[in-house]
């Protein structure tokens, strides 16, 4: 346990294909993998490479279980920013053979706390947690203040996250809250990958990996994971110590 995360730094042009190739290898070893998947802009090129690999017959998700990492609460069904909409459009619905299961977060029901509890059960046995990094150091919607034993839960979103829903992802309205797999489940996954691209993430990535671990930058808790790989492109890694 500790700061021995594997750091993979790649030129931007190679980054998505390298991450996808590593997932193709995992799936070929263990086709029934249970994976949680993020949305946002970072994983999009990886999903495109995975779709291409699946269409070429180099990988199949037909025995895999895909679990949503997080979701906005308060966006209507079909909203383009919704995480279920994005994951389906970028990956799930483009696969030539569907996954064995796609476990979405029920954000449309009357009881979001109960939906979070159900999703906590779905996230209990993850083989691989694939994660993005928020500009404030959040992971999923584990916003600053989150702790390593936090369960999957309904969360109040940081103002910057609420604004990003409209400004960056084209939401038709500002979400009211979020539901996220908690750090307890993410740290309990057999393996975790943190995907980070672009110079705009360089400063927060450095702080998450090099400053003391703590709740101000929730992604820093991932350094306690025994099998963490950070996949960064050269822009995101530009402020990390060499070597
Ligand atoms: C979003 C999501 C995260 C995502 C992160 C980074 O708000 N809640 O799951 O990984 O912020 O997003 P992006 O990849 O668009 O920078």
Closest CA to 229 of 182, 180, 190: 190
For a mutational test of ligand 1's pocket, the pick from 43, 87, 138, 160, i.e. the residue with the most ligand atoms closer than 8 A to its C-beta, is 138
User: 149 near 184, Cβ under 8 Å?
Assistant: yes
The arithmetic mean of pLDDT across residues 119-136, rounded, is 97
Q: Any catalytic annotation for residue 138?
A: yes
Rounded average pLDDT over 108-129: 97
42 lines ligand 1 (CB under 6 A): yes
Atom of ligand 1 nearest to the CA of 169: 15
What is the DSSP code (8-state) at residue 182? -
- The answer on pLDDT for 180 being more than 50 is yes
Question: Is the CB of 40 within 6 Å of ligand 1?
Answer: yes
pLDDT at 120 over 70: yes
Residue 107 tokens read as: 């954000």
pLDDT at 2: 56
Residue closest via CA to ligand 1's atom 12 equals 40
Residue 218 CB less than 6 A away from ligand 1:
no
Task: Delimit the domains of the chain by residue range.
Answer: 14-211
Average confidence (pLDDT) over 148-164:
96
Token pair belonging to 5: 């995360």
pLDDT for residue 1 is more than 50: no
The third-level CATH classification (topology) of the domain covering 14-211 is Rossmann fold (3.40.50)
70 in active site: yes
Catalytic residue status for 56: no
Q: What is the CA radius of gyration of the chain?
A: 17
Verdict on whether the full-model pTM lies above 0.85:
yes
Of the residues 22, 62, 136, 191, only one is catalytic, namely 136
């Amino acid at each position: 346990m500790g700061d021995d995360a594997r750091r993979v730094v790649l030129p931007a042009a190679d980054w998505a294909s390298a991450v996808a190739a590593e997932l193709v290898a995992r799936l070929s070893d263990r086709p029934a993998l249970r994976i949680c998947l993020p949305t946002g802009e970072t994983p999009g090129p990886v999903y495109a490479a995975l779709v291409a690999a699946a269409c070429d017959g180099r990988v199949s998700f037909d025995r895999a279980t895909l679990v949503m990492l997080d979701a906005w609460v308060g966006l209507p069904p079909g909203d383009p920013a919704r995480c279920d909409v994005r994951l389906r459009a970028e990956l799930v619905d483009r696969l030539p053979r569907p996954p064995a299961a796609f476990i979405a977060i029920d954000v449309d029901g009357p009881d979001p706390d109960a939906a979070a509890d159900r999703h906590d059960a779905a996230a209990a046995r993850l083989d691989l947690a694939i994660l993005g990094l928020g500009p404030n150091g959040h992971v999923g919607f584990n916003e600053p203040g989150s702790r390593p034993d936090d369960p999957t839960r309904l969360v109040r979103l940081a103002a910057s996250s609420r604004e990003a829903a409209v400004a960056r992802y084209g939401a038709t309205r500002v979400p009211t809250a979020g539901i996220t797999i908690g750090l307890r489940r993410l740290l309990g996954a057999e393996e975790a990958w943190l995907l980070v691209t672009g110079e705009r993430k360089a400063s927060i990535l450095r702080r998450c990996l090099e400053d003391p671990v703590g709740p101000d930058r929730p992604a820093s808790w991932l350094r306690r994971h025994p099998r963490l790989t950070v996949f960064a492109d050269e822009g995101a890694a530009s402020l990390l110590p060499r070597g």
